[in-house]
């Protein structure tokens, strides 16, 4: 697969932002949950794979959505470099998230990419399924996501998914998969 950089968009959490590491840090520091590891997150719905009270999971997720945390939300290794290059050469960059609102993501993405804010667009859809309509509307051909179920929705709609490998998407699938931004960069036609 060779991807035209002008026709690709990206999810943020789990693809650009290392949100699950932040989740674990908040759980450790604020809720004393020290026995959970990144590899324990074997499904997208955290309540299905972690032995944590659902109300605690909701509290941590709410902090992340609102930007109400002390520790940093770091980018996934290589994301800033590849996306900054893409933005300078082929901008604007489009990010489509299932978050209900962009919240602190606008500032976070701008900080990490060092691009003109006008060359970055973040769309919060409020649901995974709603990503499809936005991507079709914008004539996006490729979308990089970490949620396997979303990749099936994209494929059914004629959008080519690229699955960003994470512990929670380790089931059989027919999609092109990358395990790093270095691998993804090799698919982009510069």
Instruction: Give the residue from 75, 67, 54 showing the smallest Cα distance to 26.
Output: 67
Tokens 């809720």 -> residue: 31
> What's the helix, strand, coil split of the chain in %, to 5?
45, 15, 40
**The pLDDT of residue 31:** 95
- 83-112 confidence digits (pLDDT tens): 999 999 988 999 999 999 998 998 999 999
**Domain 5-17+74-187's class?**
alpha beta
Question: Using an 8 Å Cβ cutoff, are 135 and 154 in contact?
Answer: yes
* pLDDT range class, residue 190, cuts 50, 70, 90: confident
* pLDDT range class, residue 5, cuts 50, 70, 90: very high
Q: What is the pTM of this model?
A: 0.95
Pure H helices in the chain? 19-31, 46-49, 54-66, 79-90, 105-113, 130-137, 148-156, 181-187
The rounded distance, in Å, linking the Cα atoms of 161 and 154 is: 6
Residue 95, helix vs strand vs coil: strand
- 105-146 confidence digits (pLDDT tens): 989 999 998 888 888 999 999 999 999 999 999 999 999 999
Residue 111, helix vs strand vs coil: helix
* Structural domain spans, the chain: 5-17+74-187, 19-66
**The pLDDT of residue 164:** 98
């Amino acid at each position: 697969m060779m991807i035209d950089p002008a026709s690709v968009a990206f999810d943020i959490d789990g693809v650009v932002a290392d949100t699950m590491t932040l989740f674990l840090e908040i759980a450790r520091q604020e809720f004393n949950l020290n026995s959970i590891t990144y590899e324990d997150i074997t499904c997208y719905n955290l309540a299905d794979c972690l032995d944590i009270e659902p109300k605690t999971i909701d509290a941590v997720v709410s902090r992340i959505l609102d930007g109400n945390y002390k520790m940093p939300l770091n980018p996934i290794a290589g994301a800033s470099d590849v996306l900054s290059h893409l933005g300078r050469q082929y901008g604007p960059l489009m990010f489509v998230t299932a978050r209900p609102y962009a919240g602190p993501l606008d500032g976070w993405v701008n900080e990490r990419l060092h691009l003109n804010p006008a060359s970055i667009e973040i769309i919060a859809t409020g649901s995974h399924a709603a990503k499809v309509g936005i991507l079709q509307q914008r004539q996006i051909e490729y979308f990089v996501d970490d949620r396997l179920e979303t990749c099936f929705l994209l494929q059914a709609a004629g959008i080519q998914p690229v699955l960003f490998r994470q512990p929670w998407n380790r089931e059989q699938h027919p999609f092109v998969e990358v395990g790093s931004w270095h691998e993804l960069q090799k698919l982009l036609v510069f």
